[in-house]
Structure 1
Amino acid sequence: MNRFAGKFSTYELLFVVGIIGISFSSIFVRWSDADVAIIAMYRLYLTNLLLLPLVWRHRRELFRLSGRQWGWLAFSGVMLGLHFLLWMASLRYTTVASSTVILTLEPVFVMFGSYLLFGTKANRVMLIGMGLAFVGSFVIASGDFSLSGDALIGDVLSFLGAAAVAVHMLIGKELRKDVSAFTYNFWVFAFAATALAAYNLVRGNAFGGYSGHDWGIFLLLAIVPTLFGHYLFNWLLKYMNAASVSMSVLGEPVIASLLAWILLKESLNGYQMAAGVLVLFGVWLFIRFGNETRKA
């Protein structure tokens, strides 16, 4: 029993590290003037470049996949690429707080999809935790939402990005039962980056000529929010249910808004900061008391 408790605490710690990691993503995107599709593409290609030293160790599994697994890996990658494209684009139209808080809809998509596809149900405490987190998240962005103009475009893009990453999470939950975290991440990142490369080619976006500052941002995005964020979450999919892992997005608005307040000078009032505490409490309830059950 103690051994299990220790392991569970490790998963919780890694979960928190992942939340902090992904929270830097919006800041880095704002610091680059490159097209968001280029930023997303190089973020993922550079991530896989950093993973190359481990390829030899996983060489057998990397290429011993069934046709079905290859197909789902490709689909998962396309959905991840689409998520990055849509969500990063939303940051060009609205504030960090508004953009990240829309992503809190992801667990709803994941929970609904898990129920339809896998028969997964949420218990009462999980629903309470999610409800508290939603209330806090929307208070954080209450001063930034707009029903017209550029802000609405940003909100819609973030909404669609949340739906895309929910599909990615659901596919990953099933694939991670038989595929290691490294193999899953390596190929999903590769497919996502290649899909974005095709998009950039069609759009006529330049693949080179970027400043050292931009390349530094691409690298930071590969290391901080991707390796210490998405990679960790994909690894945790084998040990936590998909809805719980997706709850990471409810912690992101809190930290991202604070970072935007400090680094980007975006406004954040006392009510929003108090709401951030509510979000974190809701997330804690969800992952601490959450369990995965199946329909009989």
Structure 2
Amino acid sequence: MKQRESSPSIGLPLTISIIAVSFAAIFVKWSDAPASILSMYRMWFASLLMIPIVWKNRGEFKKIENKDWFYLFFSGTFLAMHFVLWFGSLKLTTVASSTIILSLQPLVSLVGGFWLFKERTTLPALLTMGMAIVGATMIGWGDWALSKEAIIGDLLSFLSVIAVVGYLFIGQSTVKKVLHWIYSFCVFFFASIVLTIYNLCTGAAFGGYRAEEWGIFLLLAIVPTIAHVINNWLLNYVNATTISMSILGEPVGATLLAVLLLSEHLVGWQIVGGILVLFGVFFFLIQQKKALPLNEAIKENTHSTLEKEIK
């Protein structure tokens, strides 16, 4: 197993991650390609772009045990499901409207983290999480729609939340065993394969797209995918709930970009909501840093107990 390094400052990497991932919704809105095709080419291009780094660190593949390949495959499958479901939801609803559902991600992650890893958090952290979720809801509420199409989009968005939380939980356990570059490449590669099989089964067109579409595929592979690489690296030091909470900053960035690039409009409560999200995420990260020693102690105690039972 890879030796755990001392925790670096995570503020700047998280900020870069939030800015990068905020562009995803904009690129999807610009594209006329099916959601599954967007997802597939994003993953294939991302995998190809990573080959030079992966080749340089190819010795890391020897550290991957047989059982870990199983986890890597399912992590890639969950990521593929997330992209197809979320991109599909964006085809049916507005960028801002999707934030109401996406804001549930830290809650789903918090429940899963407690159930799977016995992770604890503090009351102040829960309160700041609530503040950010309220803020995200305020951002999306103005464009909330009740049409049949929008409801289907909201359902797809919620399913995408479950998928991405599953992807993060697998990463939380597996990325510590191998260099994060290799982990990200393997996950992206398996996601590419899963998406290719899905598109073959559904009869989606693999070609015939305009040059602008191929440019969007490449932009998706570079800009927002950087956020996934950064988050996979951060899973060495923080849990999936912290990553999920930081992603609440995405609605703020995506909504601002939608105003600038898609001519969408902001109203007063959306601005207030954005401020609440930023403050909520900032103070949550501070509280989680305080809770980290407690969670590490619980994990160490659980590990020691299991070793005694085995003996």
Which residues of 2 match residues 69-88 of structure 1 at below 5 A?
69-88=68-87
Q: 2:185 matched to 1:200?
A: no
Distance in 2 (alpha carbons) for counterparts of 1:13 and 1:191:
29
Aligned to 1:40: 39
User: How far has the Cα of 1:100 moved from its partner?
Assistant: 3.2
> Which stretch has the larger CA shift, 77-86 or 237-246?
237-246
Are 2:229 and 1:231 aligned? yes
Shift of residue 260 of structure 1? 0.9
Is residue 165–residue 240 contact of structure 2 (8 Å, CA) maintained in 1?
no
The answer to whether 1:176 aligns with 2:175 is: yes
Query: Which residue of 2 is the match for residue 268 of structure 1?
Result: 266
Asked if 1:129 corresponds to 2:115, the answer is: no
1:135-171 CA-partner distances (Å, limit 9, x unpaired): 1011111112233421111111100000100000011
1:24 is paired with a residue whose SS is: helix
Distance 1:90 1:63 in 2: 39
Q: Secondary structure at the match of 2:104?
A: helix
Aligned length: 289
Contact 2:136 2:248 survives alignment (8 Å): yes
Q: TM-score, normalised by structure 1?
A: 0.94
Distance 2:27 2:83 in 1: 13
Cα distance between partner residues in 1 of 2:185 and 2:59: 14
Instruction: Find the aligned partners of 2:246 and 2:188 in 1 and give their Cα distance.
Output: 19
What root-mean-square deviation, in Å, do the aligned CA atoms of Structure 1 and Structure 2 show? 1.4
Structure 1 position 282 matched with structure 2 position 275: no
Would the aligned equivalents of 2:132 and 2:277 in 1 still touch at CA under 8 Å?
yes
In structure 2, the residue matched to 1:91 is 90
Alpha-carbon separation, structure 2, partners of 1:177 and 1:101: 32
Aligned to 2:252: 254
Shift of 1:63: 4.8
Q: What secondary structure is seen at the aligned counterpart in 1 of 2:127?
A: helix
Does structure 2 conserve the Cα–Cα contact (< 8 Å) formed by 1:115 and 1:121? yes
Q: Distance in 2 between matches of 1:289 and 1:269?
A: 31
What is the deviation of 1:177? 1.9
2:242 aligned partner, one-letter code: S
Asked whether the equivalents of residues 101 and 250 of structure 1 are also in contact (C-alpha less than 8 Å), the reply is no
Aligned to 1:158: 157
Structure 1 residue 64, shift from structure 2 partner: 4.1
Aligned counterparts of 1:210 and 1:128: Cα–Cα separation in 2 = 47
C-alpha deviations, 1:186-224, integer Å up to 9, x for none?
000011111111110001112122211011001111111
Q: Give distance in 2, aligned partners of 1:80 and 1:234.
A: 12
- Residue in structure 2 matching 1:240, options 238, 256, 261: 238
Q: Which amino acid aligns with 2:36?
A: A
Partner amino acid, structure 2, of 1:238 = N
Query: Which amino acid in 1 is paired with 2:275?
Result: V
Deviations 1:245-277 (A, max 9, x none): 111221111110111112111222121011101
Q: Secondary structure at the match of 1:141?
A: helix
1:105 aligned residue: 104
- Partner in structure 1 of residue 208 of structure 2: 209
* CA deviation profile, 1:110-151 (whole Å, cap 9, x unmatched): 111111111001112211110100110111111122334211
Unmatched tracts of structure 1, length 5 or more: none
Distance, in Å, in 1 between the alignment partners of 2:103 and 2:231 is: 16
Instruction: State TM-score, norm by structure 2.
Output: 0.90
Task: Return 168-177 or 102-111, whichever deviates more.
Answer: 102-111
* Alpha-carbon separation, structure 2, partners of 1:101 and 1:238: 29
Match of 1:276, as an amino acid? G
Do residues 191 (structure 1) and 195 (structure 2) align? no
- Against the structure 1 CA distance between its residues 277 and 44, is the aligned structure 2 distance closer, same or farther, given a 3 Å change threshold? same
Tell me, yes or no, if the aligned pair for 1:101 and 1:253 is still in contact at 8 Å: no
- Counterpart AA for 2:233: W
